[in-house]
């Protein structure tokens, strides 16, 4: 792996198949992330939302009278903060705790993930919570867009699931899903803090998953992804909003991908742009996805940009300003002053972030999930940023004829 010495990251694979990734950082907290290779991409119409519901149940304490018996409660008693997250490709659980308690809390975290103790009553309670989430998200711009772009592909299904499918997911089906996907051989454990990989390895081997076998289960293949660029561009029940998506390079074009992500930060700079532009980061789910050591869906990055105003007339003017700026940079490139500003901001942010455990957790989990873990040097050296390369990638991927546009009606 290409890591500058001062940013060295160590990794190994245990006998049970679990991958360990450790970044030593001299800070007071230890940041832990457990990533399970199983998300909504693996679901069907019938069980859509099961990954997200399971994540909710694993993260919950359960009924009041049972709380003290549950590992989640014990983690909180040590001052630990646990969170869960479900995406299209994985289900992950994160933990931040003081370095004095990381060993005990890691063992507890692995216990609640791999030996969940939720009951039928817990399922009924949490299912109602998830259904409320789905109702709140029903008119979501993003979900309408993905349903059209990826029609008839698992990516078109919402991560939260559909009301009708979640209502029919019971305890038996949840435990069957857990048994199929929650295996050490499908797990990546990332630890960032004042720790050593030998201590992490010993802790995992002494935990509830230490005796697991390196078990492989046959998992159905994900069908190839075809993007429907001729999808209906009109989004209903949303007012005065335009979504512009620029398609970027395939992830295995590592350098272009880095610069494409760097370009996305341009749209956050309110000294250049109007503050009414609401910008979202590149959509990582469209990167190549690595599951079971097999690189699948080698698609590409997108930058999604939401233009939002109070009236249709203002929205039209905002779009005109936006495209005028895009054309100007495409034709003339970046001014030296603008490039230096971008580089200084990037360097300043990097030097701050590189001492953050949370930043390292996010960087490493993305790098592993999306296949550029072995090619991270470019992300760890701001001096490598090149004005000519930024302009080259901008012209390749940012223009009016290289995007998808959705508009509210």
- The closest alpha carbon to 113, from 149, 144, 82, belongs to 82
Q: Tell me which of 105-114, 298-307, 380-389 is least confident.
A: 298-307
Residue 60 has, within 13 A of its CA and on its CB side, a CA count of: 22
333: left (phi over 0), alpha (psi -120 to 50) or beta: left
Read off the DSSP letter of residue 221.
P
Pick the residue with more confidence: 268 or 207? 207
Distance CA 122, CA 129 (A): 11
Digit-coded pLDDT (tens) for 173-232: 999 999 999 999 999 999 999 999 999 999 999 998 987 877 777 777 777 777 777 888
Q: What's the Cα-to-Cα distance from 69 to each of 56, 105, 175, 229, rounded to whole Å? A: 18, 14, 20, 52
Distance CA 276, CA 265 (A): 15
Pick the residue with more confidence: 25 or 284? 25
**Domains of the chain: residue spans and CATH:** 5-205 (3.30.830.10), 234-408 (3.30.830.10)
Grade residue 305 by pLDDT with cuts at 50, 70 and 90. Answer: confident
Q: Note the pTM of the prediction, 2 decimals.
A: 0.84
């Amino acid at each position: 792996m290409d890591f500058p010495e001062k940013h060295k990251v160590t990794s190994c694979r245990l006998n049970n198949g679990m991958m360990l990734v450790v970044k030593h950082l001299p800070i007071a907290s230890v940041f832990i992330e457990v990533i399970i290779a199983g998300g909504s991409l693996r679901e069907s119409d019938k069980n859509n939302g099961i990954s997200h519901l399971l994540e909710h149940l694993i993260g919950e304490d359960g009924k009041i009278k049972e709380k003290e018996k549950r590992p989640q409660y014990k983690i909180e008693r040590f001052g630990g903060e646990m969170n869960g997250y479900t995406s299209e490709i994985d289900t992950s659980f994160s933990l931040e705790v003081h370095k004095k308690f990381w060993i005990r809390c890691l063992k507890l975290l692995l216990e609640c993930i791999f030996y969940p103790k939720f009951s039928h009553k817990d399922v009924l309670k949490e299912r109602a919570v998830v259904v409320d989430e789905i109702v709140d998200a029903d008119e979501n711009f993003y979900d309408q867009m993905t349903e059209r772009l990826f029609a008839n592909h698992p990516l078109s299904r919402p991560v939260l699931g559909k009301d009708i499918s979640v209502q029919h997911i019971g305890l038996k089906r949840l435990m069957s899903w857990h048994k199929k996907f929650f295996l050490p051989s499908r797990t990546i454990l990332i630890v960032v803090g004042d720790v050593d990989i030998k201590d992490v390895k010993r802790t995992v081997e002494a935990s509830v998953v230490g005796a697991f076998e390196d078990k492989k289960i046959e998992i159905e293949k994900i069908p190839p992804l075809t993007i429907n660029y001729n999808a209906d561009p009109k989004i209903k029940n949303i007012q005065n909003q335009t979504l512009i998506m620029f398609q970027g390079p395939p992830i295995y074009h590592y350098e272009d991908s880095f610069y494409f992500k760097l370009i996305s930060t341009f749209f956050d700079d309110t000294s250049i742009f109007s503050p009414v532009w609401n910008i979202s980061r590149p959509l990582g789910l469209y990167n190549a996805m690595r599951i079971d050591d097999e690189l699948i869906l080698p698609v590409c990055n997108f930058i999604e940009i939401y233009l939002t105003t109070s009236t249709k007339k203002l929205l039209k003017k905002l779009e005109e300003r936006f495209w005028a700026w895009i054309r100007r940079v495409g034709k003339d490139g970046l001014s030296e002053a603008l490039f230096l500003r971008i580089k200084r901001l990037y360097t300043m942010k990097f030097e701050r972030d590189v001492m953050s455990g949370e930043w390292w957790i996010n960087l490493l989990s993305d790098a592993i999930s999306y296949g550029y873990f072995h090619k991270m040097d470019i992300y760890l050296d701001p001096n490598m940023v090149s004005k000519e390369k930024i302009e080259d990638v901008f012209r390749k991927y940012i223009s009016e004829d290289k995007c998808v546009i959705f508009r509210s009606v």
